[in-house]
């Protein structure tokens, strides 16, 4: 699982990330709700149907895809 600090670094570096369900994509937005401290990550993914955005929890982000 990636930390919030890692997610922001991946977004700034435009690195691809991997999700727990096997999809890959790029982070386009990070939202954290207070005081619940729940973080939602918006990811631009490529699917067989075409590009899509997905909103996932921070826990669903595995980390950066190796270059």
- Region 2-17: mean pLDDT is 94
* Domain, as residue range, for 45: 4-64
Query: Model-level pTM?
Result: 0.86
Count other Cβ atoms within 10 Å, centred on residue 17: 24
What are 15-53's pLDDT values in tens digits?
A: 999 999 999 999 999 999 999 889 999 999 987 787 899
3-state secondary structure 6-50: HHHHHHHHCCEEEECCCCEEEEEEEEEECCCCEEEEEEEEEECCE
Structurally, how many domains does the chain consist of? 1
């Amino acid at each position: 699982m990636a930390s919030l600090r890692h997610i922001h670094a991946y977004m700034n570096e435009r690195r691809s990330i991997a999700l727990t369900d096997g999809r890959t994509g790029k982070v386009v937005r990070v939202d954290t709700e207070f005081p619940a401290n729940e973080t939602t990550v918006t990811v631009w993914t490529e699917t067989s149907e075409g590009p899509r955005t997905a909103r996932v929890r921070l826990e669903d982000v595995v980390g950066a895809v190796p270059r």
